[in-house]
Amino acid sequence: MRKGQLGFLAGTHLVNDLYQGAIPAMLPFLMSQRHYSYAAVSGLAFAASGLSSLLQPVFGALSDRRPLPWLVPTGFGTAALGVAAAGLSGNYLVTWLCVALAGIGIAAYHPPATSQARAAGGSSQKAMSVFSVGGTIGGALAPTLVTLVIGGAGFGGSPLLAVPALVMVILWALKGPWTRARGHTAATALVTGASAKAASNTGRSDDWRSFARLVAVIIGWSIPYVTVTSMVSLHAQRDLGESAAAGAAVLSTYTAAGAVGTLLGGWLGDRRGRMTSVRVGYLVALPALLGIAWAPAFPVLVLSAAVFGVAMFLPFAAQVTLGQDYLPNRPGTASGLTLGLAMAAGGLCSPAFGWLADTSGLPAVFYALLAAFVLPAVMATRLPDRTLTAPAPQSPPLAESAHTEQSR
């Protein structure tokens, strides 16, 4: 495990997903200051999480063909630009396009960054959870940052939201030569190649049938995840009479709990097997989602959201590595499909849930999510495990390539 590279990639993931979390955090302000309806803000959630995610498999396929490390800073830089521009726009169509631009940047970041993190962390579930938790922490910080900036300075202060990305781009420019000097790019390519060679040498071809089942499970995961992320803050304000700060607090609690769940899932996966993380996560998430729908008071909502966040992210790292082991010859494609196309379902369903919220209220939305979540939870408990280990002889060439890269 190359801890320095893994930690730096986790930092970039924090910044990238800060902007993924900033979009739902902006929705209550857009409703109060620009008077958007539930359907309108759900359309923005669609632009960020749905439409843009359809492009992640494309970026994943490109990263399988050859390493594209420049997509990492380009991705989170574009996301920052889109979020800042969305805050400055007063027109709904322009706002929608800016949010879509941010989503495209987020989509471009994930496949190459995830492949690099798998190369840096090897087969450890804990390593992938460290990378993943960087994004979860970024999502947890987003509501507080958005509330401070937009709540304090209005949408005119939106360019301040781009500061974290600017800082990380500078660090990437300084850090990039350091990682290349130690063979990071070559190592990423060789580990990807080693996985493919291991699959060929052991007769382990791509298992598309199991991978399709995993994608179906993640689709079922993404629908409640995206919808709860978009609407739990509004639920606290509109149904329980809480302030905008309280709404941001419950959203932060939900995403922070996701960070805890991601790390806990990696730890549990290394000790009890990754399928334990998957099964426990889905089974605990069901009663927690019921608590969100039923919550008669704000403390119950906060507690239910916290448990739901932990449970939903227990399987996260396991699902990423499981998808890559189902498709050992196409790790970038696997990352793009599990993190991208499957996640698109959540965004694609957002307008329908927005319409349901406008007509029947937010509690009806959460009860509908609960009913839809039962099937994927059952399917998750029946997913087969598959472990593909790269052969040991790959280690000397890796070190040799690192030395060659360093001499350049």
Which residue did the predictor score with more confidence, 67 or 378? 378
Residue 343 confidence (pLDDT): 63
4-53 tens-digit pLDDT? 788 889 899 999 989 988 988 888 888 888 888 888 888 887 788 766 77
At residue 216, the pLDDT reads 92
Predicted confidence at residue 1, as pLDDT, reads 60
Q: What is the distance between the alpha carbons of residues 132 and 13, in angstroms, rounded to a whole number? A: 7
Q: What is the pLDDT of residue 380?
A: 95
Position 306 pLDDT exceeds 70: yes
Which residue ranges form the domains of the chain, and what is each CATH number?
3-385 (1.20.1250.20)
pTM here is 0.71
Q: Out of 237-251, 272-286, 300-314, which region has the weakest mean confidence (pLDDT)?
A: 237-251
Residue 88 predicted with pLDDT over 50: yes
Specify the pLDDT at position 186. Answer: 42
Note the pLDDT tens digit of each residue in 103-120: 899 888 888 888 788 787
State the pLDDT at residue 30: 86
- Counting beta carbons within 10 angstroms of the beta carbon of residue 86, is it exposed (0 to 12), middle (13 to 18) or buried (19 or more)? buried
pLDDT at 160: 94
pLDDT value, residue 220: 92
Asked if 390 and 194 touch (Cβ cutoff 8 Å), the reply is yes
pLDDT for 297: 94
Least confident of 20-34, 208-222, 358-372, 389-403: 389-403
Q: What is the pLDDT of residue 281?
A: 96
Residue 28 CB contacts under 8 Å (≥ 6 apart), including other chains: 233, 234, 237, 244, 247, 248
How crowded is residue 406: how many other Cβ atoms within 10 Å of its Cβ? 12
Q: How confident is the model at residue 134 (pLDDT cuts 50, 70, 90)?
A: confident
Amino acid, res. 225: Y
Residue 350's pLDDT is: 77
With cut-offs at 50, 70 and 90, classify the pLDDT of residue 392. very low
Amino acid at 348: L
Instruction: Give the whole-number percent of the chain exceeding pLDDT 90.
Output: 37
Of 276, 268, 300, 297, residue with least CA distance to 287 = 300
Closest CA to 20 of 127, 141, 115: 141
pLDDT-based confidence at residue 402 (cuts at 50, 70, 90):
very low
| Predicted local distance difference test score (pLDDT) of residue 341 | 64
For the chain, what percent of residues have pLDDT higher than 70? 84
Residue identified by tokens 């850090």 is 175
- 226 with 350: CB under 8 angstroms? yes
Between 299-308, 349-358, 362-371, 392-401, the lowest mean confidence (pLDDT) is in 392-401
Q: For residue range 159-197, what is the model confidence (pLDDT) as tens digits? A: 999 999 999 999 888 865 445 444 444 444 444 444 444
Spell out the residues 6+ positions from residue 365 whose beta carbon is closer than 8 angstroms to its own: 227, 231, 353, 356, 357
Average pLDDT, whole number, for the chain? 82
The vertex-111 CA angle with 105 and 115, nearest 5°, equals 140
